[in-house]
Amino acid sequence: MHILEVNNLKKVYTTRFGSHKVQALSNVSFSVEKGEYVAIMGESGSGKTTLLNILAALDKPTSGEVLLNGKNLAEISEREISAFRRDNLGFVFQDFNLLDTFSIQDNIFLPLVLAGESHLEMNKRLLPIARQLGITPIINKYPYEVSGGEKQRAAVARALITRPQLVLADEPTGALDSKATASLLRLFTEINEQGQTILMVTHSTQAAAHAKRVLFIKDGEVFHQLYKTSLSTEEMYQKISDTLTTIATGGERHA
């Protein structure tokens, strides 16, 4: 079952006075199955950040469509879009996006507070997530009192607590050291194995090697894709590295 469908997506930005047009996405099509773990890779300027913003309903395409569970994101009104995003999408950012004046617990609760959930329901959802992510001892601390890895796990908890259809992760390991990166990637695998659909944009070959499928974006198009299937993480890492080399040296498109 397709949870996400991206059809013939095109995005053209026009400069302030309309004198110059920049084509960020030219013709992107792919789908994501429920329960998949997909990584999107590409060089800077390839269009992957633009793609993520459109998938997050933060930007609209020039043409083409994005369907989440069959619902066209472009048809959702401005008044409804924030609630739709909160109810259906979970976000994990490189820089955590935690509020320093809120405790870890209150940061995690924030989307549920905005959704009007009861305190009883919030606590009921938090306990198993905090236990799985190993953040129970720090939930009453503040972001400035904990490590980068703990901040990112708190951000993952905030993304999961709404029980989203899709988790979108933007360079989630970018601000972490190697130990915290390895820990977070293990958690992403666990969360995915429990049925959570994840789509991650990353520059990190190590991070992408944990995904079940990797899409490579080049010049605003899907250039190639790799499926992990029975490959080990080490074998997937090597295949991703080889593909990135092909892209960097001007190899042919295989999508």
pLDDT digits 0-9 by tens, 15-61: 777 678 888 899 999 999 999 999 999 888 788 889 999 999 888 89
94 closest CA partner among 45, 49, 139? 49
Query: In this predicted structure, what is the pLDDT of residue 43?
Result: 83
Question: Which DSSP string corresponds to 40-56?
Answer: EE--TTSSHHHHHHHHT
- pLDDT band for 208, please (50, 70, 90 cuts): very high
- pLDDT band for 247, please (50, 70, 90 cuts): confident
List all residues 6 or more positions away from 12 whose beta carbon is below 8 Å from its beta carbon. Answer: 21, 22, 23, 24, 62
39 closest CA partner among 188, 180, 176? 188
73 closest CA partner among 192, 191, 199, 166? 166
CA distance to 24, 28, 74, 206, 222, per residue, from 66 (Å): 16, 10, 7, 28, 15
pTM, 2 dp: 0.92
